[in-house]
Structure 1
Amino acid sequence: MTDRSGTPATAIGGLGVSGTTGPARAAGAARTAVVWDALARLLPDLSEGAPLEIVDAGGGTGGAAVPLAELGHRVTVVEPNPDSLAALERRAAESGVTVRGVQGDTRDLPSLVPAEGADLVLVHNVLEYVEDPAAALADVVGVTRPGGAVSLLATNAVAGALHRALAGHVADAHRLLSDPDGRWGEADPMPRRFTRQGLLELVGAAGLTGESVRGVRVFTDVIPGHAWEGDAQAGQHLLELEKAAAGHPELIGIATQLHVIAHRG
């Protein structure tokens, strides 16, 4: 798998994005700030001052794992692509941290991670690609300790239809909305998309509770790039707009991605 989780603009001293400079960096931070802000609030509640055991399922080259390791947590990346694991090892070495990388898929989690051994499991842009999302999430829950958390990031079907329509592919948008897997046709490179309700039902069926949903990339993917190119202030405004829109009850529905944090009760 490629590095789908994204990297925060700055991970020094935390997972926030304060100190972001430059238009490209600010625009990039706008794509990931919502997820990192949510994790930054979650980690202290889970850790109570102690290092966490974190599993990043499908963690790619360590875009999330390495910054979390830099904060002192023990991180394991479970990733099927050996090239990504090699890149993860290089990235971790360059950052002066240790991240355990093991080859495998979500179905391998029970044999790679101790049962109830993780305080936090990241499942970012993975459920779109697995054969059976419910089974994959059950395996994730199995390695999450009682009271631990699962961070899910999944592609939004409603946003997919919006983006196809804005690109002039109106018929594709129509098909996507009626397709049970949220796909616009056989040529669609995305195997599966989720609605907000469908994702919450999946989470509930897995026995996870206390879920909260935030929208990721509400505006970033529909505003033309030239709107912030060469303008650091515009990029910063976009970042703040994304953070404000993330919890808006109406705007969540059109976000490119849906971020859910839920707990194993």
Structure 2
Amino acid sequence: MGRQLDEQIAGRFPVGQRLRVLDVGMGQGTQALRLARAGHQVTGVEQDPRMIATAREELAGEPEGIRERVRIVQGDGRDTGVHFLPGSFDVVLCHGVLMYIEEPDPLLAGLARMLAPGGLLSLLVRNGDALAMRPGLSGDWAGTLAAFDTTAYRNRLGLDVRADRLADLTATLAGIAAPLHAWYGVRVFTDTAADGTGIPADVEALLAVEERAGKTDPYRGVAALLHLCGVRG
């Protein structure tokens, strides 16, 4: 999904512009570091001290010029208004966070307020319209039947979490003045791969297939994850 994000950034901002990026729920800092390496100024927000320690360890191995472009704030993504002024960022990322939040609308409204006019909001969520796909493809028929009528699921960590439907998020983004600009499917064909599966020899072909499917109907609609990009009006 890094390619998808890069595509949206390239389509919205002048080449070479150093963007102000906020990564809410930055985890181990994978996207934050990637964007810092590309020349952007990145602020990461993360609650989990273990994740922050890992991110700092990764950052310590980078050249000084990149280290200077990354700031890490320990905190809750719902408290962005405490830490930052409205309109302070050109790009706001919130990847893999919404599934852990019971009521995501206040969080999303807060993230939209962080965006400067024309800014990009990038969300990665579990696809609530396709929860039956994983149990169905693994032959769990009882689980498949149960998945059709819910947005609740148990993730691979054994946690009870929630998914989001495209139509609901489209309405939410319109309501917070960051209407949906583009959306992609992520993990269309690879969601059932076992944890710890090694990188296949034909990884470039796999990435090409996933990238194509993630942009193409009807495939993107049954992806495990949705990548939504809203633009601040």
Superposition TM-score tier, normalisation by shorter sequence: 0.7 to 0.9
Q: Distance in 2 between matches of 1:177 and 1:202?
A: 22
Q: Which amino acid aligns with 1:94?
A: G
2:154–2:160 contact (8 Å) kept in structure 1? no
The residue number in structure 1 matching 2:164 is 194
Q: Distance in 2 between matches of 1:250 and 1:57?
A: 30
1:157–1:177 contact (8 Å) kept in structure 2? no
The residue number in structure 2 matching 1:146 is 117
Q: 1:151-190 counterparts in 2 under 5 A?
A: 151-179=122-150, 181-183=151-153, 189-190=159-160
**TM superposition shift of 1:249:** 1.5
TM-score (norm 2): 0.88
1:46–1:119 contact (8 Å) kept in structure 2? no
**TM superposition shift of 1:57:** 0.2
1:262 aligns with 2:230: yes
1:119 aligns with 2:90: yes
The residue number in structure 1 matching 2:44 is 77
The one of the two structures with greater contact order (alpha-carbon pairs below 8 A, sep at least 6) is 1
1:153–1:258 contact (8 Å) kept in structure 2? yes
1:51 aligns with 2:18: yes
1:173–1:184 contact (8 Å) kept in structure 2? no
Q: Distance in 1 between matches of 2:152 and 2:48?
A: 26
In the TM superposition, what whole-angstrom CA distance separates every residue of 1:74-97 from its partner, at most 9, and x where no partner exists?
100010112211211111121222
The residue number in structure 2 matching 1:207 is 177
- The structure in which a higher percent of residues are strand is 2
Q: Distance in 2 between matches of 1:130 and 1:188?
A: 16
Q: Distance in 1 between matches of 2:199 and 2:113?
A: 47
2:44–2:72 contact (8 Å) kept in structure 1? yes
Identity of aligned residues (%): 31
Q: Which amino acid aligns with 1:209?
A: P
Backbone CA RMSD of aligned residues = 2.4
Q: Distance in 1 between matches of 2:198 and 2:50?
A: 32
Q: Distance in 2 between matches of 1:195 and 1:176?
A: 13
The residue number in structure 1 matching 2:205 is 237
Q: Distance in 2 between matches of 1:193 and 1:65?
A: 24
TM-score (norm 1): 0.78
Q: How many positions carry a matched residue from both structures?
A: 226
2:180–2:228 contact (8 Å) kept in structure 1? no
Shift >6 Å, 4+ stretches: none
1:247 aligned to which of 211, 215, 219? 215
SS at the partner of 1:208? coil
The residue number in structure 2 matching 1:64 is 31
In the TM superposition, what whole-angstrom CA distance separates every residue of 1:42-68 from its partner, at most 9, and x where no partner exists?
333325532111000000111100111
1:80–1:103 contact (8 Å) kept in structure 2? yes
Q: Is there any run of 5+ residues in structure 1 with no aligned partner, and where?
A: 1-34
The residue number in structure 2 matching 1:20 is none
1:86 aligns with 2:53: yes
**TM superposition shift of 1:188:** 6.3
